[in-house]
Amino acid sequence: MAEASISVDQDQFSCPICLDLLKDPVTINCGHSFCMVCINDYWDQDDQRGIYSCPQCRETFSPRPVLHRNNMLAEVVEKLKKTELHPASPAHCYARPGDLECDFCTGRKRKASESCLVCQTSFCETHRKSHYEVPALKKHKLIKASTRLQEMICSQHDKVIEIYCRTDQSCICYLCTMDEHKGHDTVSAAAGRTEKQVQSKSQWRIQEKEKKVQELKQAVNTLKVSAVQRSAGTAVSQLSQTSPPDGQ
């Protein structure tokens, strides 16, 4: 029997906190899945309150849920990784207009697949291998190929921005926490990004509700005006029917 082929989007298997493919995936009580390290780090910041929430839907739990690796999801992610790592055909390797090019290719440039925040460079599938094989480079922070690398570096300290300051609502580097942001309420940049996304969605929902309320009020006012106009028209018609003819 032929093996079924299912097309999936890699984003479906990405951690909402770090935005990378799930590592040691765990599924919490509300049904959302995260990297075990990411959700533990996120919940460590709530230990004092004793109330733990889902970074995605904000459902709360108390006491802290016990996490277990989702083996089935882990197997799916591993298969997805192997599929993604298969060499692409030459026609799809080369950068097209609008694509981010590999900084190390000579001659015809290949399409970049990842960028390094430390090196501030982008690599194709071939040239990214050094960051997985050379011990010193393994510590570098790799992300999906991006043209916005400079925005992810602190302009003051020239360090990777990996912290979100809730107090000032800004993204900062670890050196910033020792200077002007010392003592501020901070979380990881990924956790801060998730919080901002949740806030944006909540704000959008509030605006949509307010819009519907305004539309409903307008509809009610329109009906009232129409009712008044119909009543006035009926009164005039009745008056004209009861008025005596001219000359009487």
In the predicted structure, residue 240 carries a pLDDT above the cut 70:
no
Topology classification of domain 11-82: Herpes Virus-1 (3.30.40)
d(CA 43, CA 28): 12
- 129-154 mean pLDDT: 82
d(CA 185, CA 125): 39
- What percent of the chain has pLDDT above 70? 83
Q: Which residues pair with 21 in a beta bridge?
A: 14
d(CA 110, CA 100): 9
In the predicted structure, residue 134 carries a pLDDT above the cut 80:
yes
Q: Give the pLDDT band (50/70/90) at residue 5.
A: very low
How many residues in total does the chain contain? 248
d(CA 188, CA 164): 6
Residues of the chain with CATH 4.10.640: 90-149
CB 190 within 8 A of CB 18: yes
Q: Give the pLDDT band (50/70/90) at residue 34.
A: very high
Mean pLDDT score across all residues of the chain: 79
The CATH number corresponding to 153-219 among 3.40.50.2300, 3.30.160.60, 3.40.109.10, 3.10.20.30 equals: 3.30.160.60
Of the candidates 156, 154, 177, the one whose C-alpha atom is nearest the C-alpha of residue 165 is 177
d(CA 95, CA 244): 90
Overall CATH class of domain 90-149: few secondary structures
Kind of pairing between the strands at 121-123 and 142-144:
unpaired
Residues of the chain with CATH 3.30.160.60: 153-219
pTM comes to: 0.37
Residues of the chain with CATH 3.30.40.10: 11-82
